[in-house]
Chains A and B, each alone.
Chain A
Amino acid sequence: MTPDRLDEAFHSADPDVRRRAVQSMSLRPRGTPLEQILDALSDSDWRVRREAISLAAQSAEKDELIDALLFRLVETENTGLRNASIEVLGMIAQGQAQKFASTLAAAGQGAQKFLVEAMGKTRDPIMIDHLKPLVDGSDANVAAAAVEALVCIGGRRAEALLKERLSTPRLFLRISILEGLTRLGTRLTWNELAPAVDDVIVRRIAAELLGRTGEPEALEFLLDLASDPSPQTSSAALRAIAVLASETESDKNELIDRLTGSNDSFRRAIHEALLHGDTPTRQGAAYLAVLCQDASSLEAVLQAVADDVANPETVAALRASGSALIEPLLMQRGGESRVWAIALELAAELSYRHLDQVPAATRDRIRSLIERDLTDASDAVRAAAAESLLWWGDPRDCRALVECLRSPSHQVRAAATSALEGLVKRVPVAVEEALAEADLDGPGGADIAHVLSRLDSPRAEELLKRGLHSGDPRTRRAAVQALAIANASEIAQLIGYAVADEDIDVQVAAVRTLGQMRTKEADVPLRTALDSPFAPTRAEAALALGRRDANGAIPRIRDLLEDREPIVVSAALDALAWLGDSEVATAVERALSHADDEIYQAGLRAARTLPVGDAERLVAHGLAHSAWNVRMLAINLLVDLDTEHTRKLLQDALTDETDSMVRHAIETGLRLGV
C-alpha cells in the first residue's frame, strides 16, 4: 500500500479499512509517527485498537511513547484508549518502575488502579517493590488491583508476598489473594491453608487450592465442604475433588475406595450437583459419580452426557465399563428419551464388546430393542438405534436403515449413514439392493449419495447420475463429490454442467471433482469456472488448473492476481507457483507487502518454489509477521528448505518468539534439521 493510500485508509469511515491500514503500518512500524500510533490507540473501534497495540509495541520511540501513555492513562476518560494504553505499557514498559512510581505519586485515587494494572502487565519483577505498599494500603480497590498485578508478574517473590498475607483479617483482600494464588497455580500445604479458611465465603474460594494440596486432610475437609448446605460451596468442593481425582495417579485406587466409601450426604451432593449445578460442577460431579460407580446417579450422568456437559474422560470411563453396567443401562428404558438413547447405544456397544459375558437372553433383548427403537418417535432414540446397528446390524436391517435416511432429522440420517457405511464392508449387495429404490430427491438424498460412493459399482454410478438432477443442491453436491470415483470423459461432461449450477457449493464441488479427474474433458469447464461470479469458485478453479499442470491457463490465472477477493488472489498465486510461472517472483514481492494474511501466506508458499537464495530471503519475511499462523507457516517452509542459513534464522527466531505453539514448531524443526 502506498503512503497516500495508507493515510486515506487510516482515516476511512469503515473500521475494517482502518484496521487493515494499521495492520499494514505494523509491517513498517519504525516509520510510523508517534502521533499516528496514539490516534490509532484511541480509535473508536476495538479491532483497530487491537492492531494498534501490536504496532505500538514495535515503535522506535519507546521512551516518548511510555511518557505519552502514562499521561493519557491518568488523564483520559476514553476507556478504549485507557485499556489499549495498559496493554501497550505492559508490553514495552519493563525497567520503567521509577516512572510508574512518580506517576503513581502524582495521580489521583481513581487513576492509581489503572497504573497498577499496567505495572502488573509489564511482568517486571522490579515493580513488586512498588506494589507491596499498595497491597497493604487502605484503598480496597487499589489493594485488589495490586494483588492482581502481583499475580500477573508471578514468580517466587510475588507468590511469597501473597502467601505472607493469607491470613489477613481484611476479608476482601484475603479473597483476592486466594483467587490470585489459585490462578498462579500455587500449591499450598494443608497447614498453610487451614488458618485462612475460617470463613464461609473464603472456604468456597479456597476449594481449588485445597484440592491442589492432594493431602488427605484437605480431601476430608473438601468432602465435608461438599455436603455444605450452600450449593455454591458444595459445588466448589466437588469440582476441587474431581480435579484432585483426575490428577491422582499412583494412589488412585485408594482415592476411589475413599470416595466410594464416603457417606450418603456426599453421594447426595454429587446427585444434586448433577441435577442442578452449573456446567463445570456437573462435569466434575459426573466424573466423580462414574469413578464411584454410583448406580443411583447413572441417570443423571447420562443426562449430563446428553446435555453435552460430560467431559471426554467421563464418556471414556463409561465406555470402558464392564458388562455389569448393561442391566442398569437397560433399566433406563421409559425415562427421558435422550437418556434412553445413550443408555441403549452404550448397552449395545458394551454387550458387543463383552459378548462372552452377556447371556443370550440379554443379547436378544438388546437386538429387539434396537429394531423396535428404529421407529421410535424421538430422533435421539432412532439415531441411537441406527448407530447400534454398527455392531449388531445384518442384511435384514438395510431396508430399515435406508428408511431412516428419509428422516427429516439430520441426526437420524447421519447415524443411519454411518451404520450403512459399516454394512457396505460386510454385505455390499444387501446395501445396494436396499438403496435401489431410495429417494434421491428426499431429505436424505445427500446421505444416499454418500453411501453409494462407497459401493463402487456400475449400478451405484447410475444412481449417482440421477442425483445430479435432484432439486436439492445438497444432493447435487454430494452426487458430484461421489462421482469423483469415476474417471470417464462422459462423467466429466456431466460434472461440467454442474460448474454452471446456480448453487455456489455445487459449483465448488464440481470444480474440485473435475480437478481430481485425469481426463482432458475436465479442462474446458475448469477454465470457464475462472469467470464465475463467485469468488470461491474462481479460487477453486485456479487451484484445480494449477494442480493439473494446465500451463495454457497461466495468462488467465495471472489476471486473477488483480482480483478484488483475497481468496482468489491467494489461489492464483499458489497455482502460478505450481505451474512454474516465470513471473511468480514479482507476484511474491507484491504479496509480501499485502495486508491480507491469506495473500501474504500464499506469497510465502510461492516464495518457497523460487531458487534457494531468493526463497530464504523472502520466506524469512514471514518470521516478523504479527499473526502467529503466518509465522508458523514461515517456520515450516524454512524447516523444509533446511539450509545452514535457514537454521540460523530459526535459531534467531527462537529468541524472540513468544507464542508457545510457534516456539514448539521451531524447536521441532531445529531438532529435525540436526
Chain B
Amino acid sequence: MTLLHDAGPSLELSDFRLLRDFINRFCGIYFADDSAYIVERRLRERLRDLRVGDFAEYYRYLQYHPKAEKELEAAAEVLTTNETYFFREAYQLRAFTDEILPAVRSQALARGSKRLDVWSAGCSSGEEVFTIAMLIDSSGLFDGWNVRVFGNDISRRVLNKARAASYSSASFRAMIPEYAKYFIESEEGRQVHPRIRAMCHFGHLNLMNERRAAIVGRVDVTFCRNVLIYFDDASRRKVLDTIYQRLNRGGYLLLGHSESLLRASTAFEITQLTTDIVYRRPIPFTDIPPRLA
C-alpha cells in the first residue's frame, strides 16, 4: 500500500451498500455508488490494520465485534473529508459581518441579553471557528459581551489540531491581510492569538446524534458549510432539524456556496441579503412587536 498503489480486497457493490448505509446511519456521510472506489481505498487501511480478510467480514465486525463502536469511529474518521482554511468564501463572511451580526445583536438586545453564540457545525481543524471569532472581534459590535464560538467535529484527530490552533501555509490560502494581527508566529506554524482562542470552544460531536447536540445550547448563528454535501437527503434533513432546534428564533444558518438552496429544509425561511442568500429560523408572527408586524 502506497499513495499510488493500493492493492487489497475488492469492495463488491452489495457490501459497499451495506457498509455505506451502516456508516450513513452512524454519522450521515453518504457515498453514491460511483464513489465506491473512495470507500474501498480508504477502508482498506482499516481492513489491513484489523487483519480482516474482506469487506463482508469487516461489515460483520462493525455489527458484532466488542470493539465495533471504536471501529465505527475509526471508519468515519478515514471516510470524512477535512478540507478548510481561514476566510473561506469571503463574500459570505461579508454578509455575516455586515448584515447578520448587526441583526443578531439587535435580536439579543431585544431579549435583554448581551450574549452571542455561534456554532460551527462540522468545524474540521478549526479554521472556520477562529475566522468567525476574528470577525466578531473586529466588528466591535460585541465588546463587553459574552461571546462563544463552538465548533464540533466527528474526528478526534482534527479536533486535536483545532485545539492546538497552529496552522501551516495551506490554511492561509485565502487569508485577508488585515487579520494577520490575530496570529503569532510559533515553532509549529502560525498560531491563533490567545484572546481569540479564549472565545472558541471545541467538542467531539456526531451531528446525527440529536440528543448530544443539546450540548451546543441555543445559538444565534450556525455555520454548516461544505458539511452537508457529504450527507444523503434523509441525514441532511435530520441534521438540519437539529440545527433548527438549536437556533434562536430569527437565528441564521449559513451553508456553503455549492450547497443547494432548495433541498435543505422547508422549515427555514430563505432570506436575501445584499451579497448572499441565507436561511433563517422564522420568527413567529406573535413574537414580532405590533409596530413591525
Contacts and interface: CB of A to CB of B under 8 A. Distances in A.
Interface of A: 46-47, 50, 79-80, 82-83, 110, 113-114, 116-117, 140-141, 144-145, 147-148, 172, 175-176, 179-180, 232, 275-276, 278-279, 305-306, 308, 311-312, 315, 338, 341-342, 345-346, 380, 383-384, 387, 410-411, 414-415, 418, 446, 474, 477-478, 481, 504-505, 509, 534-536, 539, 565-567, 598, 628-629, 632, 661
A629 B14 contact: yes
Interface in B48-79: 48-51, 60, 63-66
B245 A315 contact: no
B262 A536 contact: no
B179 to A, nearest CB: 18
B41 to A, nearest CB: 7
Given A176-B262, A275-B173, A598-B63, A50 B51 contact: no
Contacts of A565: 64
A247 B72 CA distance: 36
26 contacts: A79-B267, A82-B267, A83-B238, A147-B262, A148-B263, A232-B89, A278-B258, A279-B83, A308-B38, A308-B41, A341-B4, A342-B4, A346-B4, A380-B3, A383-B2, A384-B4, A410-B45, A414-B1, A418-B7, A477-B51, A478-B51, A481-B51, A504-B66, A509-B51, A565-B64, A629-B14
B17 interface: yes
- Which 4 A-B residue pairs are closest in the complex by CB-CB distance? A414-B1, A567-B64, A113-B266, A79-B241
B13 A661 contact: yes
B234 interface: yes
B64 A144 contact: no
A380 B262 CA distance: 43
B238 A46 contact: yes
A542 B260 CA distance: 51
Which residue of B41, B66, B226, B282 has the most chain A CB atoms within 10 A of its CB atom? B66
A341 B261 contact: no
Which residue of B4, B174, B245, B282 has the most chain A CB atoms within 10 A of its CB atom? B4
A632 B14 CA distance: 9
Interface string B1-37: 1111101000001100110000001000000000001
A50 B234 contact: yes
Given A478-B51, A661-B14, A661-B17, A144 B2 contact: no
B2 A411 contact: yes
A628 B277 CA distance: 39
B42 interface: yes
B51 A415 contact: no
A474 B66 CA distance: 16
Given A275-B173, A629-B14, A661-B13, A341 B83 contact: no
Nearest to A567: B64
Interface of B: 1-5, 7, 13-14, 17-18, 25, 37-38, 41-42, 45, 48-51, 60, 63-66, 81, 83, 89, 173-174, 210, 226, 234, 237-238, 241, 244-245, 257-258, 260-263, 266-267, 269-270, 272, 277, 282
Contact of A414 (B17, B18, B48): B48
B238 A276 contact: no
A306 B3 contact: yes
Given A47-B25, A411-B1, A534 B261 contact: no
Contact of B3 (A179, A341, A446, A536): A341
A478 B49 CA distance: 12
A145 B261 CA distance: 10
Contacts of A312: 37
Contacts of A140: 270
A79 B4 contact: no
Contacts of B18: 629
A311 B261 CA distance: 27
A110 B282 contact: yes
A219 B248 CA distance: 46
B145 to A, nearest CB: 30
Nearest to A346: B4
Given A145-B262, A383-B2, 6 more contacts: A144-B270, A148-B262, A279-B83, A342-B3, A509-B51, A629-B14
If over half of A's interface residues share one DSSP class (helix, strand or loop), that class is named, otherwise mixed; here it is helix
Which residue of A275, A278, A306 has the most chain B CB atoms within 10 A of its CB atom? A278
Nearest to B81: A279
A597 to B, nearest CB: 9
Contacts of B174: 276
Nearest to B18: A629
Given A179-B262, A312-B37, A46 B4 contact: no
Nearest to A597: B63
Contact of B48 (A179, A342, A410): A410
Contacts of A232: 89, 257-258
Contacts of A384: 2-4
Contacts of A346: 4
B81 A305 contact: no
Contact of A172 (B2, B4, B48, B272): B272
B81 A46 contact: no
Contacts of A83: 237-238, 241
Contact of A474 (B13, B51, B260, B267): B51
A387 B270 contact: no
A305 B1 contact: no
Contacts of A276: 173-174
A144 B262 contact: yes
A52 B251 CA distance: 31
Nearest to A231: B174
B137 to A, nearest CB: 26
B280 to A, nearest CB: 11
Contact of A345 (B2, B81, B267): B2
Contacts of B89: 232
B1 A114 contact: no
A214 to B, nearest CB: 20
Nearest to B238: A46
Given A117-B266, A598-B63, A661-B17, A387 B5 contact: yes
A372 B56 CA distance: 40
